[in-house]
Amino acid sequence: MLKEMVKTLKKQSVQEVHVPYEAANKLKNALSNLRFREGNEWLNVREWLGSVVKHSLNDEVINSIQGFKSDDDQCALIIRGLPVDGNLCATPYNGYVPPSKVPLASAIHIGIYQLSQIEPVSYQNENKGFLFRYVVPALNALNEKSSHGSTFTFGHHVDNPDLPLACEPLTKRSGCPEFLSLMALRSDLKVRSNFILLDNLIAQLSRGVVNELCQPNFRINRPDSFGQSRSSRLPILVIGEDGVMLCRYDKENTTPLTESAAAALVMLEAQLQNESLKQHVVYQPGDVLIIKNQRLLHSREGFKSRSDGADRWLARMFGMSTLERIVPAFPEFQHIGKD
């Protein structure tokens, strides 16, 4: 099986598209009078939001968004030049403002998911179940290695890695998010994020190392964004359908449980420092990055928060190909999963 997997490593790609000024202005005008508060309300009109996005953007951008989900070779899509709210409040250092405070960005974000036929999802105990998580340098977490930290580099990871990957069966817990998006509301040009395509990473490892990473000899801790701690004994790599490799590595939450697992992890982490594998992103307001969460590892360099109300501010949302990968926590909210 491992030999077959090595043969089927795909040539992953990243696409970048730009929204013209006229299209961005049309989109902004079409969504100028929205009046909703919580994320659940926005989902009730997502078909309309998707239609507005589709009829505002040009064909190149539309085709890229619509084709992203089904293109197995494409693992990241960067959309640049989308409009954002012009009267932004101060960066929310407590980590939350209602989507109604950023209605334009919230509407566009959900509209893009609708256009790409990705289901927006959240988790009961992660981010309090809210649809949007605001990635900001929280004043009480500046030294944490998390999305709300800033001082230290936030190591390469897959989000929510302790949950079942796309090829693993569900029991009482929802699946690991298949998609993750980040929309920049406020930027800091000194801060770089980067990502490494999984197949490029695996191609640098020996078969023996890959085989060891496929063994359930690693403790994967639940990330700090969850309201409860949990650890599971799991493999880092899993071979999915058609030999496509999936990953749950998380630099801050992975511990080897055997000597051979520790040796394999050393080899993996050495390649994660390989600059030739990294693709860097510097966000500007209106940029959206959509990634296939289990097929790519992402990271963010450390930076110093100014704490002046104008620090870097991204909106994050999770997605699934189908809600069948979600075990609903509440009958009335099918997109909020048990975890």
Binding site as annotated, residues for Fe cation: 298
Q: Which residues carry a binding-site annotation?
A: 298
Residue 185 CA to its chain's centroid (Å): 16
Long-range contacts of 21-29 (CB under 8 A, 24+ apart): 21/81, 23/56, 23/57, 23/58, 23/61, 24/81, 24/82, 24/83, 24/286, 25/83, 26/56, 27/52, 27/53, 27/56, 27/57, 27/82, 27/83, 27/108, 28/83, 28/104
| 279: helix, strand or coil | strand
Which two structure tokens, joined as six digits, stand for 46?
């997502």
Which strand (E) or helix (H) includes residue 52? Answer: helix 46-56
**What is the radius of gyration, based on Cα positions, of the chain?**
19
